[in-house]
């Protein structure tokens, strides 16, 4: 591990109740105790090339200005960005509710052990995690373990199956590429307590419904589907017969085939030692056989490698019959190379990609029947998917499908001066009580600018009160679409206010 340099200020600040721990080497804790700070700083200073502590370097440099950019890999959401995000989230919510799902949520900060597993998954190394007051905590990198925790906490009193969905912000410290950030929002839909593939079919239909609602033409996105259970049956009858415990680490490795290529995957499959997780230790011939299995692109191809009377293969045929009934079977091709990179998947797995292949996965999920038991609960079947906001945003941009989203504003109310302000407030109150979205102009501005800004924002009307209007007890209403003007009686405004409950 490379040496890390801390200033006295940094070490003192971080020492106050918080330490950061290396996951691969739990015994290594940062920062060191305060009794080590001075010696560490002395070593750090003396190790700088050309540094002479006895020679003054002159006046200290001015401290750099505060970095005003969002931390690398994160985003600010200005009004235009928020309108897009809200539009996308509304489609996610409407789709989930169309399918009878209920929304839930959980803390962004979770117990770190909820996410730390031993199969060599990337997600373990990507945790934002820390210790505070003797608790090891993490920012959630995904929502599924949190949902599992919630299910386990009230498992005895729940009526299954349960249909839940979430829209949450998640954090992973990973290498950034297009559509991959260190924070992202994700829509999850999960079904707990249904062991049959009817649950997978319902979720896949929901995913296709959302893609349709986003305006993506059929064929722009394909959801590739496989079964870990099928792969497990085949391998444990074959190359993993004497080491079945290597199956989950094997899935983590072959999930990287699109990233690192077949040869690199072969090398990892043949490693006999591993710093992370279980070494798989296949022979070159066995690794070649595994890669050959991953090339299957139809259930007939998969049958050549499947165990005799394979239950997993029969399950897949049943699933495709259901998908055909939903009218989406042609959008969900079988692809034996899809295994998903998380070790907890146990059955059907799937990933959505743009057909052009220019982006990383748009969404993905599968069955995880053993997760609750792994976390200390009673066994309960479960299946779900996650659908992030970043990649789909890139695809919508590429396809020109982001809608023109204007500011939600109906009316603007403008008073020429302070003497008209009370009347303007009464007008704004009345309009708002009617459910309209109203901006009351603050401060002093010229009417020409108010009219231009209101028109640009998409407002329908501008309500204008000047000295003359106030004296006559009226408000002038300008329709921005027709440029027509009319007057309304301020007494009517007062009467409307008195009728409010």
Is the pLDDT score of 41 beyond 60?
A: no
Mean per-residue pLDDT, 488-497: 71
Is the pLDDT score of 362 beyond 50?
A: yes
pLDDT digits (tens, 9 = 90+) for 326-342: 999 999 999 999 998 77
Is residue 60 a part of any domain in this protein?
no
pLDDT digits (tens, 9 = 90+) for 163-198: 999 999 999 998 888 878 899 999 999 999 999 999
Q: Within 10 Å of residue 133's Cβ, how many Cβ atoms? A: 7
User: Are residues 331 and 469 both part of a single domain?
Assistant: no
Whole-Å CA distances, 341 to 91, 258, 291, 337:
27, 12, 16, 11
With CA atoms as reference, report the closest residue to 127 among 174, 80, 95: 174
Is residue 310 a part of any domain in this protein?
yes
Is residue 29 a part of any domain in this protein?
yes
Q: What is the pLDDT of residue 25?
A: 43
Mean pLDDT of the chain: 86
Least confident of 24-38, 116-130, 303-317: 24-38
3-state helix, strand, coil in the chain (%, to 5): 40, 20, 40
User: Are residues 325 and 180 both part of a single domain?
Assistant: yes
User: Are residues 379 and 479 both part of a single domain?
Assistant: no
Mean per-residue pLDDT, 342-346: 84
Q: What angle do CA 223, 225, 226 make, to 5 degrees?
A: 165
Mean per-residue pLDDT, 76-93: 97
User: Are residues 132 and 160 both part of a single domain?
Assistant: yes
User: Are residues 23 and 157 both part of a single domain?
Assistant: no
Q: The domain that contains 359 carries what CATH number? A: 3.30.930.10
Q: What angle do CA 148, 149, 155 make, to 5 degrees?
A: 80
pLDDT digits (tens, 9 = 90+) for 122-131: 778 899 999 9
User: Are residues 296 and 210 both part of a single domain?
Assistant: yes
Query: Strand, helix or coil at 187?
Result: strand
| Cα Rg, the chain, nearest whole Å | 30
User: Are residues 312 and 461 both part of a single domain?
Assistant: no
Give residue 58's pLDDT band: very low, low, confident or very high (50, 70, 90): low
Mean per-residue pLDDT, 70-84: 95
User: Are residues 231 and 349 both part of a single domain?
Assistant: yes
Q: Which residues contact 475 (CB under 8 A, 6 or more apart)?
A: 423, 427, 463, 464, 465, 469, 487, 488, 490, 493
Is residue 52 a part of any domain in this protein?
no
Is residue 59 a part of any domain in this protein?
no
Q: The domain that contains 455 carries what CATH number? A: 3.40.50.800
DSSP 241: T
User: Are residues 386 and 468 both part of a single domain?
Assistant: no
Give 62 or 343, the one with higher predicted confidence.
Answer: 343
* DSSP notation for 393-429: HHHHHHTT----------EEEEESSGGGHHHHHHHHH
User: Are residues 267 and 216 both part of a single domain?
Assistant: yes
Maximal CA-CA distance, the chain:
95
Give 33 or 150, the one with higher predicted confidence.
Answer: 150
Is the pLDDT score of 9 beyond 90?
A: no
Is residue 56 a part of any domain in this protein?
no
State how beta strands 438-440 and 411-415 pair.
parallel
Q: What is the pLDDT of residue 166?
A: 98
User: Are residues 391 and 426 both part of a single domain?
Assistant: no
Is residue 84 a part of any domain in this protein?
yes
Is the pLDDT score of 36 beyond 50?
A: no
Is residue 274 a part of any domain in this protein?
yes
pLDDT digits (tens, 9 = 90+) for 277-293: 667 889 999 999 899 99
Tally of domains in the chain:
3
Q: Which residues pair with 385 in a beta bridge?
A: 189, 365
Give residue 216's pLDDT band: very low, low, confident or very high (50, 70, 90): very high
Q: Which residues contact 212 (CB under 8 A, 6 or more apart)?
A: 218
User: Are residues 174 and 314 both part of a single domain?
Assistant: yes
The answer to whether 414 and 448 are in contact (CB under 8 A) is: no
Q: How far is Cα 96 from Cα 156, in angstroms, rounded to an integer?
A: 25
Domain that holds residue 22: 8-45
Q: What is the pLDDT of residue 81?
A: 97
- Between helix 228-236 and helix 247-254 the angle, nearest 10°, is 120
Residue linked to tokens 């000295």: 467
């Amino acid at each position: 591990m490379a040496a890390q340099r801390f200033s006295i200020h940094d070490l003192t600040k971080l020492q106050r109740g918080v330490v950061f721990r290396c996951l691969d080497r739990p015994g290594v804790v940062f920062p060191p105790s305060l009794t080590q700070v001075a010696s560490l700083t002395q070593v750090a200073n003396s190790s700088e090339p050309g540094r002479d502590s006895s020679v003054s370097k002159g006046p200290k440099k001015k401290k750099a200005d505060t970095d005003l950019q969002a931390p690398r890999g994160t985003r600010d959401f200005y009004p235009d960005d928020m309108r897009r995000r809200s539009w996308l989230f509304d489609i996610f919510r409407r789709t989930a509710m169309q399918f009878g799902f209920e929304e839930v949520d959980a803390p962004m900060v979770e117990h770190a052990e909820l996410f730390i597993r031993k199969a060599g998954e990337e997600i373990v190394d990507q945790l934002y995690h820390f210790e505070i007051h003797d608790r090891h905590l993490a920012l959630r990198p995904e929502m599924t373990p949190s949902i599992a925790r919630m299910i386990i906490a009230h498992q005895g009193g729940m009526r299954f199956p349960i249909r839940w969905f979430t829209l949450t912000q998640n954090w992973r410290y990973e290498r950034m590429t297009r559509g991959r950030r260190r924070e992202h929002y994700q829509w999850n839909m999960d079904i707990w307590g249904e062991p049959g593939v009817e649950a997978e079919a319902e979720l896949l239909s929901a995913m296709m419904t959302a893609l349709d609602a986003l305006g993506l033409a059929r064929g722009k996105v394909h959801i590739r589907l496989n079964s870990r259970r099928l792969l497990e049956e085949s391998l444990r009858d074959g190359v993993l017969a004497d080491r079945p415990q290597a199956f989950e680490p094997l899935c983590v490795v072959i999930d990287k085939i699109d990233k690192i290529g077949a040869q690199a995957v072969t090398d990892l499959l043949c490693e006999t030692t591993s710093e992370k997780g279980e070494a798989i230790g296949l022979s070159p011939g066995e690794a070649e056989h595994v890669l050959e299995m991953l090339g299957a692109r139809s259930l007939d191809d998969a049958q050549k490698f499947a165990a005799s009377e394979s239950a997993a293969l029969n399950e897949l045929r049943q699933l495709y019959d259901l998908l055909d009934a939903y009218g989406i079977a042609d959008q969900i091709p079988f692809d034996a190379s899809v295994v998903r990179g998380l070790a907890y998947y146990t059955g059907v797995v799937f990933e959505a990609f743009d057909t052009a292949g220019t982006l990383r996965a748009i969404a993905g999920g599968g069955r995880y029947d053993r997760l609750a038991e792994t976390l200390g609960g009673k066994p309960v079947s479960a299946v779900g998917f996650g659908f992030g906001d970043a990649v789909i945003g890139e695809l919508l941009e590429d396809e020109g499908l982001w809608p023109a989203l204007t500011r939600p504003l109906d009316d603007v109310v403008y008073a020429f001066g302070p003497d008209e302000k009370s009347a303007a407030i009464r007008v704004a109150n009345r309009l708002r009580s009617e459910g309209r979205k109203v901006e009351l102009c603050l401060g002093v501005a010229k009417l020409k600018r108010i009219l231009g800004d209101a028109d640009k924002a998409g407002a329908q009307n501008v309500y204008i009160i000047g000295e003359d209007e106030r004296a006559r007890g009226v408000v002038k209403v300008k329709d921005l679409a027709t440029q027509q003007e009319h007057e309304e009686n301020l007494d009517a405004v007062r009467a409307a206010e008195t009728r409010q409950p």
